[in-house]
Amino acid sequence: MPPSSEPLPVEAAGEPAPAASGALAEPPGNGHTAAAIASLVLAIVAPVSLLFTAPFASFAMLLAFPYDGPSRNPWLAPLAFWSLPMVFGTISAGLGIYSLRKSKRSGESKGLSLASLCITAVFFVLGLSFTLRFVYMMR
């Protein structure tokens, strides 16, 4: 059936009339709930991604440390180890802050955002402390 060339009805204020019943409605929470869920998922994926970067960090450690004396590049192994989790954690924190700012006082996206920010903060503090201890031990 060819589309009709009839104009859409326009209300007095100049805005189009509500769409037919087959149109998709706007999601509740204006999409901030989706950002909060994505933030929580990335906050959980960040620690899991350490399993993927650990072999590369081990290989970088073997290549970066000479047999005699201290290494000139003690930062190389931690950089390889934290590269992927750092990306996931940064995106998670950004989405969590965005969703937290746009959510209302009491909404489901606010709780999800706070949970993802807490997970990301704990992961960041633990990772930073372990990395600094590791770099200090390699001197």
Per residue of the chain (139 residues), give pLDDT as tens: 556 666 555 555 555 555 555 555 555 555 678 888 899 999 999 999 988 998 888 888 888 877 787 777 777 888 888 899 999 999 999 999 998 888 877 677 888 899 999 999 999 998 888 877 776 666 5
Question: What is the token pair recorded at 89?
Answer: 């954690």
Q: Is the pTM of this model over 0.75?
A: no
